[in-house]
Structure 1
Amino acid sequence: MKHIIPELLSPAGNPESLKAAVENGADAIYLGSKEFSARGHADNFNNDQLLRAIDFAHQRDVSAYITVNTLVKEQEIEGAVEYLEQLCNHGADAVIVQDQGILNILNKHLPGLPVHASTQMSIHNSAGTKLLESMGVKRAVLARELDIEEINTIRSATDIQLEVFVHGAMCICYSGRCLMSSFIGGRSGNRGYCAQPCRKEYSLERNTMSSKYLLSPRDLNLSSRLQDLITAGVDSIKIEGRMKRPEYVAVVTRIYRDILDRLSTNPTARATPDEMRQLEVIFNRGFNEGYLNGDPGRKLMSMDAPGNRKGILLGHVTGSNPKRGTITVKLDASINVGDGIMAGGKGTSIHLLWMGWHKVSSAQAGEVVTFPYGFAITTGTPVFRTFDS
């Protein structure tokens, strides 16, 4: 049986990211206005910009899906309907929705506007997809918490299109069911203003563990599992990142485009070592494959740092000399004079490198090196390469 290569769907949080996605091989883009969008902190588009963005995509044979994926209050319904009518009249390829009331309005009054059920609707079983299909929904964006067998089961039970996240940030709470931001920060993720409490530092009472980022997940990276999703019959693979930089959108979109193109002729294709290196350098909190293999347990978490690790893990600090302003590192990867590094949240470039008392220009994994670093740092701190010499 010949399997169809899925659509590549990339984020467009602003006009620059829109161009980056389109120019690097996205089949479709998703974007939102400054209202009714679950990424209220993204730059987003005003109404005129949004309509021009739809035109820009269509002129290049790229589909444009508009996020209307927040919960809509009673007093906002009239404005939401006017906005949806505008999108329908301008030829948006679909709207992505969470609110079931909005879904009902679309079915009754705008049946010509295709609807995608947001991952915020927590679609996690075949009964849910069948219900959506009966309501005229064209596509379900599946919850991130599903494993590959569950995706296979859902696919066999419904004809609705299935969309799956393959790269980017993950939430500690179940898709669409996070109330932490509302409780802790007074800002609702379901209204587009998540305060990201899962990225904060916490400590456990009556526990000797030092405070860590106990609720901060790693980033999803399924670049080596795309064939499994193709075999499962997934229709669209989605890159998270409407709040990421255009450079991120460009690099990640191009790599996934290239992998999909290779898979069209070679079912064993996957990310190359160089592509993995590029994905690590552009942004990562540490990668894993999420729930695709089942419950990942603690492997899901990135408890040492909540933000971008900014590169490839070089090794860990084994000692420091504040008087000389140097640190010593046991290497897990190669290093060269001229490389950029980051440790303990501070960055610099390597202009001198020693092994013992000998000055060297490079060193390999397994070796111990010393180099100048003008910041206080503790033993055990991870060191990352942020750019190559």
Structure 2
Amino acid sequence: MNKIELLAPAGDLEKLKIAIVYGADAVYFGGEMFSLRAGAGNFSVEEMKEGVTFAHERGKKCYLTVNIFAHNEDIEPLGKYLNTIKDIGIDAFLVSDPGVFDLIREHDPDAVIHLSTQANMTNYKTAGFWYRMGVKRLVTARELTFEEIRLLRSHIPEDMELESFVHGAMCISYSGRCLLSNFMTERDANRGQCAHPCRWQYSLMEEKRPGEYYPIEEDDRGTYIMNSRDLCMIEHIPELIQAGICSAKIEGRMKSIYYVATVVHAYRQAIDAYYADPDNYEFNEEWLTELKKASHREFTTGFYFNQPTNLDQNYQTSAYNREYSFVGIVKSYDESTGYAIVEQRNKMTVGEEIEVFGPDISYFKQKVTEMYDFESGEAIESAPHPQEILKFKMNKPVRPDYILRKRITK
């Protein structure tokens, strides 16, 4: 049985490495131009080379997003860019614009092309068209139900793959085709610069009554009327696989390495548990509990089971739920002494309880009993400065890239 691919976001080189260490089979990322996440760190050509090498050495794949809707002024620089990166070894290009598709083919006739979700692929006739054009994989529109995906799968060639989003932010507009950001902030979502106005708070005000805001719904000072919950399908791994999806895609190129590690780790465990014994698979609630330790909005299953209703929106707030803080990442560990070298990411204080998790363990709890500044060797009571390097006493053995977190106290 071919395993479903776990595909993770990589907003920068560090996130790429963490995603792979924590169990991703493949990663997708953007270069410094021509990607729909201009706010992510994204990759220079040299970083792209390093990332692809890192992934390939571990048997993993790298997909480059070139999914803007190109304007005339984009064509010439995009051609030069494609010529610069054509020998890096990208495993596939994610494309939504037919012109970009042609341009990639001109510069690399053997390039593998995946159709981005931005292309709004919703039916098997459209799938057939793209298959004849040479597309290897379709990223389905988020608006498809399981029933539609199964029907699509039954009408397309066996060697054409389906990739679907399973976790992360949802867009109020049809597969991300949105002009709201452009209209309100002159930042074009279709060229990677979305300002996310769908998350803003809205009210109704009558022209001759300035300052008198009328409720649209739910709240007397306004509502987040376009604010979708986050997609979460970890409880439905069997349905995803049985629908014929070959790649389970996590959204979040602008999220932290802590988010990437947490989400990839949870889905890796769920997918592996299913394939270990499909007939007797049972969902483990601990996987969902772990997911909730990363910042998130309330969860929804999106369109998979039905058309979303008002219950799939959050009208009260656009804020994330944050119960845990990412406080550090292990750089090395000395088994003989039990001390780890830790790069701090948020404030830690002696006496606090933390949790430690890694790609090959669940997690364990311990108190911070002692910390030392790595350079001076002096004992310290707290570590408030970003990315301090600390010497840290661990209760159990750890490895590089294990992550430290603590519950946020209010």
Per the normalisation by structure 1, the TM-score is 0.77
Give the AA of the match of 1:224. Answer: E
Q: Per the alignment, in what secondary structure is the counterpart of residue 102 of structure 2?
A: helix
Matching residue of 1:115 = 113
Q: Per the alignment, in what secondary structure is the counterpart of residue 292 of structure 2?
A: helix
Cα distance in 2, alignment partners of residues 18 and 5 from structure 1: 21
Q: Greater CA deviation, 4-13 or 163-172?
A: 4-13
Alignment match of 1:80 (pick from 58, 78, 81): 78
Per the TM alignment, residue 167 of structure 1 is displaced from its structure 2 partner at its CA by: 0.5
Alignment match of 1:257 (pick from 262, 265, 268): 268
Per the TM alignment, residue 339 of structure 1 is displaced from its structure 2 partner at its CA by: 9.2
1:291 aligns with 2:303: yes
Cα distance in 2, alignment partners of residues 108 and 47 from structure 1: 20
Matching residue of 2:186 = 186
How many residues align? The count is 318
Alignment match of 1:143 (pick from 122, 141, 146): 141
- Please list the CA deviations of residues 279-303 of structure 1 after superposition, one character each: whole Å capped at 9, or x if unmatched: 1121211001011011121121112
CA spacing shift, 1:46–1:208, aligned 2, 3 Å = closer
Contact in 1 for aligned 2:163/2:247 (Cα 8 Å): yes
Contact in 1 for aligned 2:216/2:223 (Cα 8 Å): no
Cα distance in 2, alignment partners of residues 176 and 87 from structure 1: 27
Q: Per the alignment, in what secondary structure is the counterpart of residue 79 of structure 1?
A: helix
Q: Which segments of 5 or more consecutive residues in structure 2 lack a partner in the other structure?
A: 206-213, 325-351, 355-405
Contact in 2 for aligned 1:259/1:269 (Cα 8 Å): no
Alignment match of 2:64 (pick from 63, 66, 72): 66
Give the AA of the match of 1:133. Answer: Y
Cα distance in 1, alignment partners of residues 26 and 124 from structure 2: 25
Q: Per the alignment, in what secondary structure is the counterpart of residue 248 of structure 2?
A: strand
Matching residue of 1:281 = 293
Q: Per the alignment, in what secondary structure is the counterpart of residue 264 of structure 1?
A: helix
Identity of aligned residues (%): 38
- Please list the CA deviations of residues 47-77 of structure 1 after superposition, one character each: whole Å capped at 9, or x if unmatched: 2111211111111111000111112222221
CA spacing shift, 1:208–1:235, aligned 2, 3 Å = closer
Matching residue of 1:36 = 34
Alignment match of 1:225 (pick from 233, 236, 256): 236
Cα distance in 2, alignment partners of residues 54 and 208 from structure 1: 49
Q: Greater CA deviation, 99-108 or 221-230?
A: 99-108
Q: Per the alignment, in what secondary structure is the counterpart of residue 225 of structure 1?
A: helix
Q: Per the alignment, in what secondary structure is the counterpart of residue 89 of structure 1?
A: coil
Contact in 2 for aligned 1:285/1:307 (Cα 8 Å): yes
- Please list the CA deviations of residues 65-109 of structure 1 after superposition, one character each: whole Å capped at 9, or x if unmatched: 011111222222122122223333221100111211011223344
Cα distance in 2, alignment partners of residues 133 and 202 from structure 1: 43
1:172 aligns with 2:172: yes
Per the TM alignment, residue 387 of structure 1 is displaced from its structure 2 partner at its CA by: 4.6
CA spacing shift, 1:231–1:109, aligned 2, 3 Å = same
The ranges of structure 1 where at least 4 consecutive aligned residues each deviate by more than 6 angstroms after the TM superposition are: none
Contact in 1 for aligned 2:64/2:92 (Cα 8 Å): yes
Q: Per the alignment, in what secondary structure is the counterpart of residue 224 of structure 1?
A: helix
Cα distance in 2, alignment partners of residues 271 and 387 from structure 1: 27
Contact in 2 for aligned 1:339/1:388 (Cα 8 Å): no
Contact in 2 for aligned 1:21/1:249 (Cα 8 Å): yes
Per the TM alignment, residue 271 of structure 1 is displaced from its structure 2 partner at its CA by: 4.4
Per the TM alignment, residue 150 of structure 1 is displaced from its structure 2 partner at its CA by: 0.4
Q: Per the alignment, in what secondary structure is the counterpart of residue 201 of structure 1?
A: coil
Contact in 1 for aligned 2:270/2:287 (Cα 8 Å): no
Matching residue of 1:243 = 254
CA spacing shift, 1:74–1:25, aligned 2, 3 Å = same
Alignment of 1:1-389 (within 5 A): 4-159=2-157, 160-204=160-204, 207=215, 209=217, 210=220, 211-267=222-278, 269=281, 271-311=283-323, 386-387=407-408
Contact in 2 for aligned 1:165/1:240 (Cα 8 Å): yes
CA spacing shift, 1:7–1:208, aligned 2, 3 Å = closer
Contact in 2 for aligned 1:4/1:230 (Cα 8 Å): no
Per the TM alignment, residue 307 of structure 1 is displaced from its structure 2 partner at its CA by: 2.5
Contact in 2 for aligned 1:65/1:94 (Cα 8 Å): yes
Contact in 1 for aligned 2:229/2:299 (Cα 8 Å): yes
Contact in 2 for aligned 1:126/1:154 (Cα 8 Å): yes
Give the AA of the match of 2:173. Answer: C
Cα distance in 1, alignment partners of residues 18 and 195 from structure 2: 27
Q: Greater CA deviation, 74-83 or 103-112?
A: 103-112
CA RMSD of aligned residues (A): 2.1
CA spacing shift, 1:81–1:22, aligned 2, 3 Å = same
Q: Greater CA deviation, 176-185 or 23-32?
A: 176-185
Cα distance in 2, alignment partners of residues 163 and 304 from structure 1: 32
Matching residue of 1:353 = none
Contact in 1 for aligned 2:45/2:85 (Cα 8 Å): no
Contact in 1 for aligned 2:86/2:107 (Cα 8 Å): no
Q: Per the alignment, in what secondary structure is the counterpart of residue 30 of structure 1?
A: strand
Q: Greater CA deviation, 190-199 or 96-105?
A: 96-105
Per the TM alignment, residue 386 of structure 1 is displaced from its structure 2 partner at its CA by: 4.7
- Please list the CA deviations of residues 122-167 of structure 1 after superposition, one character each: whole Å capped at 9, or x if unmatched: 1111111111111101111111111100000111111221000000
- Please list the CA deviations of residues 215-240 of structure 1 after superposition, one character each: whole Å capped at 9, or x if unmatched: 11000000011111111111101000
